[in-house]
Amino acid sequence: MDKPDLVYIAFIATDVEKLWRLLTSEADSPFWFFGCRIEIGGAAGGPYRVLGPDGALAVDGEILAIEPPHRLRILWRMPGNPLGEGRQNEIQYRIEPATEGVVKLSVSEFHHLPVPDAWQEAGREGWSKILSALKTLCETGRPLPLAMGEQP
């Protein structure tokens, strides 16, 4: 197994299928992704795009692996490759049962290109908010009122 560079975890009182649906729903994505909308194909090799609230393309990625309802791995390619050319970085979502009625959601970053400290800082805040928003949405059905910070 390759070694992740960063890991974020949330424990959420929900079931695996419900969280998977939320994570892969184009319609629901703005409620947990800073108003961004995802576009996601159904199979490996398919697209994974993130569109900002203004419709601008923020991530022009690709599904590397999709195993519903447990694992989604994405090539996190940003238009213009701002981190450099070569193999782009990857994000992996994993959903596992934890205790009775609780699931563990983890997001791992795999860096093939170095990520500047300021980006890591923004990512730390961004992913923390995204996971918190997913938790609140799953557990209460209400979106978390997020301050619009930097996107990861």
Partner 1 sequence: MSRGVDEDLLFRALADPVRRQLLDRLRAAQGLTLAVLIDGLPMTRQGASKHLAMLEAANLVAVVRRGREKLHYLNPVPIQQIAARWIGAFEADRVAGLVEFKRRIEEDGQA
Q: By CB under 8 A, tell whether 80 contacts partner 1.
A: no
Cβ closer to partner 1: 11 or 56?
A: 11
Q: By CB under 8 A, tell whether 144 contacts partner 1.
A: yes
Q: Which stretch binds partner 1 (CB under 8 A): 60-68, 74-82, 83-91, 125-133?
A: 125-133
Q: By CB under 8 A, tell whether 1 contacts partner 1.
A: yes
Cβ closer to partner 1: 27 or 147?
A: 147
**Sign of the CA dihedral running 87, 89, 91, 92:** positive
Nearest CA-CA partner of 142 in 131, 133, 150 = 133
- 43's enclosing H/E stretch is none
Q: Give the nearest distance from C-beta 94 to partner 1 in angstroms.
A: 11
SS3 annotation, 89-109: CEEEEEEEECCCCCEEEEEEE
Question: For residue 20, how far is the Cα from the chain centroid?
Answer: 11
Q: Which stretch binds partner 1 (CB under 8 A): 21-29, 42-50, 77-85, 124-132?
A: 124-132
Instruction: Show Cβ contacts of residue 73 under 8 Å, excluding neighbours closer than 6 positions.
Output: 63, 64, 65, 66, 90, 91, 92, 93
Binding residues for partner 1 (CB under 8 A): 1, 3-11, 13, 99, 101-102, 106, 108, 124-125, 127-129, 131-132, 135-136, 144-145, 147
